[in-house]
Amino acid sequence: MPIGEFGRPPALPSEVSPALTTPMYWMHEMARASLNPARMLTDATKVLFQNPFNPLTHTDFGKQVAAGCEVFERTTRRYGKPEWGLDDTEVNGVRTPVVIRTVWEKPFCRLLYFDRDHPRPLKHPQPRVLIVAPMSGHYATLLRGTVEAFLPTHEVYITDWTDARMVPIAEGRFDLDDYVDYIIEMLHELGGNMHVIAVCQPSVPVLAAVSVMEADADPFVPVSMTLMGGPIDTRRNPTAVNNLAAEKGIDWFRSHVITKVPFPHPGLMRDVYPGFLQLNGFISMNLDRHMDAHKDLFNHLVQGDGDLADKHRDFYDEYLAVMDLTAEYYLQTVDTVFIKHSLPKGEMTHHGKLVDPSKIHNVALMTVEGENDDISGIGQTEATHALCTSIPDDRRVHYVQKGVGHYGVFNGSRFRSAIVPRINDFMHNATESKRVAAE
């Protein structure tokens, strides 16, 4: 799905004037810069009132001043790209260091490999899996829990999409066709014998990429593809999120949310859908909840409850770290997936050539949905099976996880305990089926 909170299309303030969209980004940057002196002052004040040699540090007044300074600093900072924080994992009962390496790179994406430094060679090679992260406003680190769940039993790769404001305009455009090209190039780079998992929004370009590869008899098609909570056919059980694009129309999005990257970012003058506007949109959907969370942070800091304060920091360090998306990718995705429904109608094209999922016959298919998903409604991902008519029934699986929403499809306790084992079994069966067919 295109684009917004945890993979959702954004809730956008309809009162934003088209004439104000471009200068708004520049004004936003000026406002952020103007707050730097105040942030420096509050940082210094916080250090002063947390100094154990300051008598006021241990008073209610001192604790409130320090807490207030931290809340101000956190609500006015620009949140950078979060760290993965996956330094080790357990492989066959042995704690194993993990080193993250870049194995392929283009202007708008890096392919990361989580290299497990085994203390001794594995008796049997483990499946290789490419996780395609959403290019939907948050960084790939949103799938930290997804990667962590597969690391003990898989060789894991993941797409690490680049913030569009950091890409110089001289590097050219990036649209949905380019997204599909990137996936195909990555599969070529990895050299075959791969399993692909698309989480949310990339279900559409992954399905398109595999369709194109199969139509071209590409030898590097993956062994299997798993599509999780993806908007393959948003006409099925449309949610409020799905209806947003249909109600507004593509011209509204083009005139209201597209702007140019301001100085001093490397992507100066690139047309983008800006991260700060996305953030404003999906915070406004639950403004009271976010205000209460920051009030709670203040109280936890005053009371000295470090564990709850750390949980708040961890969540918002990820939640408030957003990236810009190229205008052409954003608009093409909204138009293709949510307005025209091109893929399920058999009208989606890739560089002018029709995308035909019925050409897929070598790749096993699994779809996963959440029972309470309010972003991709029940049936939207399952619709893939009706499109991939050439995949044998014994090489396709559909699974609905009870009691989880959109985020729970790829993260959390039920994902680890119920969904991951099923994906593991599916991959194993797909590999065995391919081996038998080859013999």
* Whole-number pLDDT of residue 13: 43
Instruction: Determine the 3-state secondary structure of 364 from DSSP.
Output: strand
Q: What is the mean pLDDT of the chain?
A: 90
Return the minimum-mean-pLDDT range out of 27-31, 197-201, 307-311, 406-410.
27-31
Identify whether the C-beta of residue 222 lies closer than 8 Å to the C-beta of residue 363: yes
Return the minimum-mean-pLDDT range out of 19-23, 84-88, 165-169.
19-23
Instruction: Answer with the residue of higher pLDDT: 246 or 146.
Output: 146
- Tokens 């391919």 belong to residue: 434
Q: How far is CA 342 from CA 216, 339, 347, 380, in A?
A: 21, 8, 5, 14
**Measured between alpha carbons, how far is 376 from 228 in angstroms, rounded to an integer?**
10
* Whole-number pLDDT of residue 17: 46
Task: Tell me which amino acid residue 185 is.
Answer: E
Torsion of CA 51, 54, 60, 62, to 10 degrees: -60
> What are the residue ranges spanned by the domains of the chain?
5-82+287-322, 88-250+326-438
* Whole-number pLDDT of residue 180: 98
CATH class of 88-250+326-438: alpha beta
Name the band, by pLDDT with cuts 50, 70 and 90, for residue 5: very low
Strand partners for 106:
109
- Tokens 């070529």 belong to residue: 188
- Which stretches of 19-80 are assigned E, i.e. beta strand? none
* Whole-number pLDDT of residue 416: 96
- pLDDT exceeds 80 at position 121: no
Q: How far is CA 105 from CA 23, 84, 142, 220, 247, in A?
A: 32, 18, 20, 19, 37
* Whole-number pLDDT of residue 21: 55
- pLDDT exceeds 70 at position 11: no
- pLDDT exceeds 80 at position 310: yes
> Quick one: which of 239, 229, 261, 362 has its CA closest to 22?
261
Half-sphere exposure of 39 (CA within 13 A, CB side): 13
Instruction: Answer with the residue of higher pLDDT: 434 or 175.
Output: 175
* Whole-number pLDDT of residue 7: 45
- pLDDT exceeds 90 at position 16: no
Name the band, by pLDDT with cuts 50, 70 and 90, for residue 32: confident
Express each pLDDT in 138-150 by its tens digit: 899 999 999 999 9
**Measured between alpha carbons, how far is 395 from 207 in angstroms, rounded to an integer?**
16
Q: How far is CA 204 from CA 209, 226, 407, in A?
A: 9, 12, 18
Phi, psi of 402 (to 5 degrees): -70, 145
The full DSSP string for 91-119 is ETTEEEEEEEEEEEEETTEEEEEEEE--S
Instruction: Return the H-helix or E-strand segment holding 24.
Output: helix 18-34
Name the band, by pLDDT with cuts 50, 70 and 90, for residue 435: confident
- pLDDT exceeds 50 at position 1: no
Instruction: Determine the 3-state secondary structure of 45 from DSSP.
Output: helix
- pLDDT exceeds 60 at position 100: yes
**Measured between alpha carbons, how far is 161 from 164 in angstroms, rounded to an integer?**
9
Burial bucket for residue 412 (CB in 10 Å: 0-12, 13-18, 19+): middle
H/E/C letters for each residue in 150-179? HCCCCEEEEEEECCHHHCCHHHCCCCHHHH
- pLDDT exceeds 90 at position 263: no
In this prediction, residues 86-97 reach a mean pLDDT of 92
